[in-house]
Amino acid sequence: MKTRPFKQVDVFTDTPYLGNPLAVVLDGTGLSTGDMQHFAHWTNLSETTFLLPPTPEAAAAGADYQVRIFTTAYEMPFAGHPTLGSCHAWLQAGGQPKHPEFIVQQCPVGLVRIRHNTGPIAFAAPALTRRQPTPDTVASLTATLGLSPAQVLAAQYLNNGPSHFGLLMDSADTVQHVKPDAVALRSAMKATGISGIGLAAVDVPSTSSGLIKRSNRQARAFAGNPGTSADTAGAAVPTQTTQAQLTVRFFFDSGVTVLEDPVTGSFNASLAQWLIADGLAPRAYVAMQGSCLGRFGQVHLSQDANGQVWVGGDCVTCIDGSVSL
């Protein structure tokens, strides 16, 4: 075993323990895939990352470091909160970007650019492929969530490395009150070849169809005068900084059962690419996720003049030390 620098980072929050935690091993050299997977299983977090030098080819293309991302059961080609959390940890440990404007991360999905000079750090959403599902597929998946097709305004298969399914719901209340049947949902997800299913409700009118006009009661509860407010899990959360315009929840197959993710960067990335392209969301907005789990994640989404969608959020280190691995 070797003593390796280690951090545990909370992502998509500026307040410790209200975001999505990530374990980061800052020196993964010499570890086998089996070693990494074993440690990721032991941490019991949704993701654990290992930082490595970039390959020669990636370094020549500008990569600053390489990251490998593991859930408790398998390796992922890309994930959002591990990308931001790993970058935060790398910078905090003294990492020096080659490029003045971007950090470049190598991962199995390719090279991912990360902005770090203005506002929260943000990654450039990877290319998205998407397609329209059949009405039967939508009906099957919504039934496992205890919903009806009438509550769904739009649906898409979404793939930006991970394969997800997005449902745009009729209201934030609908999103907040979903109680999925975990066994049935896992079976339906396997049948449709997806690793996660996400729900969202927009808090602003659609610029094209005018379909989305309902107000977000949950966002209003967090807004207003400075102070705190109790969420559905009883945790005190800050109220003065929210700008949430979307309410989001995401359920994923952990390899054992279906779990809910506190805050999901990769899904929010593909969700923004879909909703902005179809005129169902503005070109810049803030998504809120995690309130049903006692968290207060905020994801900053924006599309630049070139059509690139950026996914950003605050990060805070909660544990800083070393690990024997």
- Which sequence positions are flagged as catalytic? 47
CA-CA distance, 248 to 252, in Å (whole number)? 13
Compute the Cα dihedral for 176, 292, 312, 219 and give only its sign. positive
Instruction: Name the DSSP letter for residue 293.
Output: G
CA-CA distance, 151 to 47, in Å (whole number)? 32
Which of helix, strand or coil describes residue 188? helix
Distance spanning both ends of the chain, measured CA to CA: 5
Token pair recorded at residue 8: 């545990």
**In Å, how far are 39, 89, 159, 164 from 44, measured between CA atoms?**
9, 19, 25, 22
Strand 284-289 with 297-303, pairing: antiparallel
Among 20, 2, 106, which Cα is nearest to 62's?
106
**In Å, how far are 134, 161, 175, 201 from 168, measured between CA atoms?**
15, 21, 9, 6
CA-CA distance, 178 to 243, in Å (whole number)? 23
**In Å, how far are 35, 53, 152, 203, 317 from 211, measured between CA atoms?**
50, 48, 11, 11, 40
Residue 307: Cβ within 10 Å count: 10
